[in-house]
Each structure stands twice: as C-alpha cells, then as structure tokens.
A = this chain, B = another copy of it.
Amino acid sequence: MARMTVVGLGSMGMGMAQSLVRAGHAVSGFDVAPGRAEALVAGGGVAATLAEAAAQSAVAVIVVLNAAQTETVLYGPEGIAPLMPKGGVIVSCATVSPEFARDMATRAEALGLMYLDAPISGGAARAASGELSIMASGSEAAFAAAKPALDAMAAVVHDLGREIGSGSAMKAVNQLLAGSQIALMGEALAFALSQGLDLRQVYSVITQSAGNSWMFQNRAPHVLDADYRPLSAVNIWLKDLGIVKDIATGAGVPVPLVDTALAQYRKAAEAGDGGLDDAAVTKVYTRAAGLKLPGEA
C-alpha cells in the first residue's frame, strides 16, 4: 500500500481521499477550509504537514476547484510539485482547458515527475463510494504509477490516449452537453408550465421518450420538489461552460448553444441564485414568463 497526498477535500475530494484510505493507502489530505484535514485523519488518514506528505508521496491527487488553484497547489510558493520524489505522479482532476493541462504536465516533467490529465465525473456520492468515472490521458508510465489510486477511486477509467489534454478535452465535451442540457431542462419545464401541463406527468412522459437526457432525468426532480440545495451549483456551470467557450474560441469552432446556455446561467447568478443547485436555472425562464414553480407562492 502506498503513501498518497490528496489536495482539495471538498464534496469530491473528501470522498476520493476516503476511498483511498478504505483501499489501505496511507493518505494525508489538505484543504484551505479548516477542519477538513482533521476529519480525514479521524477517518483513518495520516496526520502530516503538506510538505512532509508531499515529500513522501509518489502519488498526489489534486481535486481543487479550477485551473488557478491547481497551479497554486502544484507550483505556487508552497507548491508540492518541487517537494515530491522524482518519478512521482500528479493526478490532476479539476476541469481545466487542454492547454492548461499541457502546461502543468510540461512543468511536472521538468521536475522529473509524471502527470495524468484526469478529470472526474460522477458526483459526490460516487466519489465517496470509489465509483467515479475518470477521463484520463497521459503516458503508460503515468497510468501505471497512478493505478493504485485510480483503482480505489474509480469504477471506470476512460483511457483517452497518451496526449496530455485529451482527458480535459473529453471532460469539456461532457460538460458542454451536461450544462446545456440542464438549461434546456429548465426551458422545457417552463414551456410545459405555460401550457398548463402537470410537471410530474411531464417528467414521467419525457423520461420514457426521445426527449430524455441523463440531466433531465437527474435534475428535473429538484425542480418538482423545489429542492435547490446545491449538489452542483449554478456557479459551477458559469465556470465549466466558460472553459468550454474559451476552448471553442481558441479552436475556431462555434458553440451557439453553449453561448445561449451560459447566458441563462449568468442571468441566474445575476438574480442571486448562483449558489443554488443548477436546476435553479429554471427560475430564469419562469420569472421571465410570470410562471410559478412548485414551492413558489
């Protein structure tokens, strides 16, 4: 069993770190938020300073929010990459652009480290149960070095080849679809309300029809139950569809549906709903049309 470091103990990272502990690894976890590292230790993690842990870990899993945090964790003033043993592997899980992933990997190589471009998918529950989907690319050696960690964290590892950036590009394709389809769900539910349809019946019919999507099936119940506790927040899509848009712009490929979905998330955030569950994008539509959602007076 191996010594490992996990940086980022949020809703995904904590579950992933716990999955690594459960698989028998000696795991130290870190987060800027107080109490998280201690909670992992209470659940079987190894107490250590970040520098101690990095110096002893041949595997570091980075599960922070975005590119800027990933760069700080790896290469900032207290960055762990220079401290890690040569031949160690960085498993980078945040949703970032392929270009950023390539830059991170180049800098890791210069330090004698390997890099796995390894965005994750599946949500907090599957992170906790060690059943994530991981969309990964990198060298054979990086995959081999990361294997004990991947085995503990993921039900499926999609091997997207040897090019750093392909993992992040695949994740961006998924976010393009997923984020747009949540906004589209909101559009469809508001349209259905405007026609006097019963939303629970709409849910039943659509989930049996060609209009169905994974996101419609998963998120529409949040609207039906008026439960906007953030499993994944509106603000996450401002970030992730923003990344998709940046990649598309760089590649010269039009993404008009992403542009339109992004505009709806922006309106939701401007209305003060950025911290709510992403299904709250539905309110952008119903507010504009003067319609009442379940739970609204």
Contact = CB atoms under 8 A, between A and B. Distances in A.
A256 B288 CA distance: 12
Interface stretch (A14-22, A107-115, A140-148, A194-202): A194-202
Contacts of A160: 197, 201, 205
A214 B252 CA distance: 28
Interface string A96-122: 001000000000000000000000011
A176 B188 contact: yes
B178 A210 contact: yes
Contacts of A244: 191
Contact of A174 (B166, B181, B194, B205): B205
Nearest to A288: B254
A285 B202 contact: no
A194 B263 contact: no
A216 B289 contact: no
A177 B216 CA distance: 9
| Interface residues of A, dominant DSSP | helix
Given A184-B181, A251-B195, A205 B158 contact: yes
Contacts of A254: 187, 190, 285, 288-289
A72 interface: no
Interface in A216-264: 216, 218, 244, 247-248, 251-261, 263-264
B174 A289 contact: no
B195 A172 contact: yes
Nearest to A259: B260
Nearest to A216: B177
A247 B177 contact: no
B173 A192 contact: yes
Nearest to A183: B257
A49 interface: no
Interface in A71-100: 98
A68 B2 CA distance: 71
A204 to B, nearest CB: 8
A191 B121 contact: no
A51 interface: no
Contacts of A133: 205, 208-209
28 contacts: A121-B210, A133-B205, A165-B195, A166-B197, A170-B205, A173-B191, A173-B192, A173-B211, A174-B206, A174-B211, A176-B187, A176-B211, A177-B206, A177-B212, A181-B211, A183-B257, A184-B257, A187-B258, A194-B253, A195-B251, A211-B215, A213-B213, A253-B285, A254-B289, A256-B263, A257-B261, A259-B260, A260-B260
Q: Which 10 A-B pairs have the closest CB atoms?
A: A177-B211, A213-B213, A169-B195, A194-B251, A253-B289, A174-B211, A194-B253, A178-B211, A260-B260, A212-B214
